[in-house]
Structure 1
Amino acid sequence: MILGNELLQLLRGLGIGTLCIPRGFKCRGDYLQCIAVQLLIGKYEVCPEGMGKVALMLSGDARLLRGDLTKCDASLTRVGTCPKPLNIALIPPREPLFIVDLALWHRHTESEKNELVEQLLASISTVRNYLWDGNLVFSSINDEIIKRIARFAVNARFRVIIDKGGPPSILNSVFLDPEGDCVLNEELIGKTSAFIIGGIVDKERRTKGESYELYMHHKLTIPRCRIELRGSVVGVPDRINKIIEIILRTRYETHNLERAIIMSMSKRDRINRLFYELQRASYTVRGVGLKVIPSPMLEHINWMNATNEEVKMALMKARVNVVSYEEFLRYLEQGVIKEGPWSRRYAHVVKDKNP
């Protein structure tokens, strides 16, 4: 995205209106961004002229064309196959930097170590959607982690910064911790130079406070911030790559943290948050212990856009029944309704829909 826009301007400045793309070039997102990353990691280069059946048109809104053999102004080729490659002077932004610290690697189970490596690799892909490998640091890394990464990503080329020491000292940094004492917001995301994330997976272990332990281990004094969604960390994605995605989305795309979080939530995240909301917003029918919510309230409780299937699963998990407004009124008239702690947050919805 960011580098793709820069590359587009550089190619246009060289008078290139069409760029041939080789067969086998893989890209799941923006082609210009993918190409920019591949140029920076040294896997491809741009060669004058060329022919191909896939071409990127660079006039107006850049678009991909497939079809007959096309003559292009330039072509994307593997490094070493072009006699005189063009000098594409991409200057990637140095900030923001994402530092994943792996000092607690030794505490993980085998399964968690594999999961952690998967998240590290996914983080590379996430960063590449907006920036490039140079904006990602793996600190406190050891040889075992490096070998596992190589085993998981055979023949892959990365330019991630590898640091066997602790997190580099960078001015204007923030340490991300779900138990942190400050709340991350759009302003902080926009002005922070580096985000330090604990390389921690607690899939099989019951852990608490490991992020803070990591913070103290490195004797950090920077702000410890948590990512909240409407006042709670429940439902906020905790995978390393998802945390990075949320920050990048907020900074470059949505400029709205809540929207970025919701876009990055998994099915499990949505169900967990909806369960959390239902437990607190539902009413209890005295005498029978039945938990209910009036149907007009449900769509407003589901502000995280859970699917119908996910809503059913959350209702079942919370043991909450959806009742009609008329049935809810009968409970009120009988005086057997007890409010939940958050019932009044959504009570106006019922009144507005049923004056």
Structure 2
Amino acid sequence: MTMSMVRDIIVDAFTYALRMHGIAFLALSTKTIKYILTGYKSSSREVLHRIAIALLLNKLKICAKKSKGVLAGFYKGIYILYPAKDTYWSDATVVRSDEYCSQDLSNRLLALFMDIVPKIPIFMIDLSLWELHHEKEKLKLLKQVEVSINVIRRWLTDYHLVFVSAPSEALARLRKRVLFLCPWYIDSSPYSSIDRSQTLMLDPYAEETLSTEDVFRFNYFVIGGIVDRLYSRPYATYMIYRLHLLDVERKAIKLKGSSIGVPSEINKIIDLILSIKLGDKQMDEAIIDCMGIDDKISRIVYELTKVYRDRRDIGYSDIVEYMKLYRLSEHYLKKVLAKIRKGNYVGGNT
């Protein structure tokens, strides 16, 4: 997926807000550059996106301070300047929240920014079954939620991720892990304020399969906050559905009619949906891109055994072909072979 194919509604709104405040040349302080760019090779779009999210989190400020800088990037009418002498003058400067700022424009910019940013899609993580989890599962669930917050920030804002029926214990533990602004409800009240005809529950055991068209048809996506690594809970999402009398459509994410290898982590589900809705991907492509290594290996073995009823007929060339299809490096060939050999099936044809 190329950058030109990504709909970055955050940057669209942010650059508009800057232009409406007469800011075309935006300088970054030295501290800001270290904060925004450390460890990254970033495009101008990505730099502006990170600045917008950091402003929301009150980690950066935009000051009505003119600074000299060298032209480092341009996107949507905004010139990005890095500190340098005898070059361009900026209209405003981005500084860290702990740096001095005599005239802070952040609140005005953010007010306009939030007015422009679309309020949908919304992802609703339902934590009704938190207490049913073992401590190790709670830790995995918290990790998935933490990563989900980072995922949502790559596409949208914290306000597009809502926690429903979330106990105070989960809130307290999550706050120790990450700073976030996501709305948090201890009850199910958010369900009463959304249009249920535009709401979908993502349930791996639903009879209907989610399509690319469905992703664009729905604006609210309900995801069960469930981890069942230690204890199987096959119909836990349906339990949430019944508990809250949701009366919304339920669909499963499947690849060619099967859920084998399809990512089940909350963060990957959110990324998958957004890569279709805002990233111009089709369903199959989005699923494959979100698969982990183990997911891909399981899927490849499943595909091969579906084609070859007798696993002894599976050859190395067949395995390599499917590895290419699922964009899995040949470095993992031995792992795929090991999975096949568990049934004493060793391919001989090449």
TM class, shorter-length: 0.7 to 0.9
Cα displacement string for residues 57-111 of structure 1 (whole angstroms, at most 9, x for unaligned residues): 3357878665645743211234584332333210221100000000100011111
Cα displacement string for residues 295-350 of structure 1 (whole angstroms, at most 9, x for unaligned residues): 5533443321111132331222122434345xxxxxxxxxxxxxxxxxxxxxxxxx
Kept in 1, the 8 Å contact 2:26–2:78? The answer is no
Aligned twin of 1:200: 226
Aligned twin of 1:40: 56
What is the deviation of 1:253? Answer: 0.7
For 1:1-355, what aligned pairs fall within 5 Å after superposition?
1-22=8-29, 23=31, 24-26=34-36, 30-51=46-67, 57-58=73-74, 68=84, 71-78=89-96, 81-86=100-105, 87-88=108-109, 89-90=112-113, 91-153=116-178, 156=179, 158-166=180-188, 167-169=190-192, 170-171=194-195, 172-284=198-310, 291-302=312-323, 303-319=325-341, 320-324=345-349
Note closer, same or farther for the CA distance 1:55–1:161 as it changes in structure 2 (3 Å cut): farther
What is the deviation of 1:142? Answer: 1.3
Note closer, same or farther for the CA distance 1:197–1:159 as it changes in structure 2 (3 Å cut): same
Amino acid at match of 1:223: E
1: CA distance between counterparts of 2:223 and 2:76?
39
Cα displacement string for residues 7-62 of structure 1 (whole angstroms, at most 9, x for unaligned residues): 12332444433322241423666121122222334443321234477976335787
Note closer, same or farther for the CA distance 1:321–1:62 as it changes in structure 2 (3 Å cut): farther
2: CA distance between counterparts of 1:159 and 1:55?
33
Cα displacement string for residues 265-290 of structure 1 (whole angstroms, at most 9, x for unaligned residues): 11111111112112222252xxxxx6
Give the length in aligned residue pairs.
317
Deviating more after overlay: 205-214 vs 68-77: 68-77
Note closer, same or farther for the CA distance 1:59–1:31 as it changes in structure 2 (3 Å cut): closer
Provide the secondary structure at the position in 2 that maps to 1:291.
Answer: helix
Amino acid at match of 1:133: D
Note closer, same or farther for the CA distance 1:66–1:184 as it changes in structure 2 (3 Å cut): same
Q: Which has the higher helix share?
A: 2
Note closer, same or farther for the CA distance 1:16–1:217 as it changes in structure 2 (3 Å cut): same
1: CA distance between counterparts of 2:315 and 2:143?
42
1: CA distance between counterparts of 2:219 and 2:76?
33
TM-score (norm 2): 0.82
Cα displacement string for residues 227-277 of structure 1 (whole angstroms, at most 9, x for unaligned residues): 011211111111101100000001111331111111111111111111211
What is the deviation of 1:182? Answer: 1.6
Structure 2: segments with no counterpart, 5+ residues: 1-7
Note closer, same or farther for the CA distance 1:316–1:282 as it changes in structure 2 (3 Å cut): farther
1: CA distance between counterparts of 2:185 and 2:246?
17
What is the deviation of 1:127? Answer: 0.6
Kept in 2, the 8 Å contact 1:249–1:260? The answer is yes
Kept in 2, the 8 Å contact 1:21–1:52? The answer is no
Kept in 1, the 8 Å contact 2:81–2:90? The answer is no
Kept in 1, the 8 Å contact 2:24–2:79? The answer is no
Note closer, same or farther for the CA distance 1:304–1:65 as it changes in structure 2 (3 Å cut): farther
Deviating more after overlay: 37-46 vs 61-70: 61-70
Q: Which has the higher strand share?
A: 1
Note closer, same or farther for the CA distance 1:56–1:219 as it changes in structure 2 (3 Å cut): farther
Kept in 1, the 8 Å contact 2:209–2:252? The answer is yes
Note closer, same or farther for the CA distance 1:67–1:84 as it changes in structure 2 (3 Å cut): closer
1: CA distance between counterparts of 2:250 and 2:166?
22
* Larger relative contact order (Cα-Cα within 8 Å, sequence gap ≥ 6): 2
Deviating more after overlay: 271-280 vs 223-232: 271-280
